[in-house]
Amino acid sequence: MAIVALGVGCWRTSMVVGVKGVLLILLFTGELEFRAFDYSSTRLFMASDDAKVMACDARANDLREQISEHSFEDPRGQGWYLKDGTGTVQGHIC
């Protein structure tokens, strides 16, 4: 229910399916931020649920690598730290 409230859903135009996923960002202020992202593909129109999840996962991983860097040496612990220094990427929801 919370995901629907964030505007996550599907849209379809002809043979192209557009879907939203959510990146989970934990800010150093203690707040949890939900960043919605779109991904679409003509292959998703008749794809299995597994294929849709794999497409979402690939897009989420691309976005994570664009906005954050992984560190094992950070004194706060290993993880994916946002490049702007405001928090960490905790995962994603497809």
pTM of the predicted model, to two decimals? 0.71
The pLDDT tens digits of the residues spanning 69-85 come to 999 988 888 999 999 99
Which tokens belong to 75?
Answer: 């004194």
pLDDT band at 47 (very low <50, low <70, confident <90, very high): low
pLDDT band at 39 (very low <50, low <70, confident <90, very high): confident
| Domain parsing of the chain, residue ranges | 2-93
